[in-house]
Amino acid sequence: MMVQMEDAAKDQFNLSNLSHTQMNYLETIHMLGNPNITELANILKLSKPTVKVAIDKFIEREFVYKVQSDEDQRSSHIHLTEKGKLINQMHDYAHKRIAELIGSKLNEKELQLLINLLTKVLSN
């Protein structure tokens, strides 16, 4: 269901060639607030070369840009462009719509049960 809603949102913004993984990269960059490659790789649990390749592709597509660090000239921070911010907002909107849909279909007791189950699954 979540994938279908994200796909519909991607189609609406003509981003059908953007994978869910790529959308998650952009979401993570936004959540971290302009991380460097190392920080992003650590959070995503990926190698730095893998993340660098993805970021270079994002730069080509004008989703992100790099700004050299003031503290360490060897490091750059990754920033979302306006296009990248729009994609991230669209991704966030899809997640909110899913939550609204689930909330509208479940009563209070069922919703609390779902929260408890998800908390249990995610805590391990």
The domain tally of the chain equals 1
Which of 81, 83, 91 has the alpha carbon at shortest distance from 23? Answer: 91
Distance between CA atoms of 64 and 95, rounded to whole angstroms?
A: 22
pTM across the whole model = 0.74
User: H or E segment at 64?
Assistant: strand 64-68
Residue 123 has pLDDT above 90, yes or no: no
- Model confidence pLDDT, tens digit, residues 17-51: 788 889 899 999 999 999 999 999 999 999 999 99
Q: Which domain holds residue 85?
A: 2-122
Are the C-beta atoms of 77 and 36 separated by less than 8 Å?
yes
Q: Identify the DSSP state of 36.
A: B
Residue 11 has pLDDT above 70, yes or no: no
- Model confidence pLDDT, tens digit, residues 76-107: 999 999 999 988 888 888 888 888 988 899 99
User: Residues 49-74: what's their mean pLDDT?
Assistant: 94
CATH code at position 66: 1.10.10.10
Distance between CA atoms of 114 and 83, rounded to whole angstroms?
A: 35
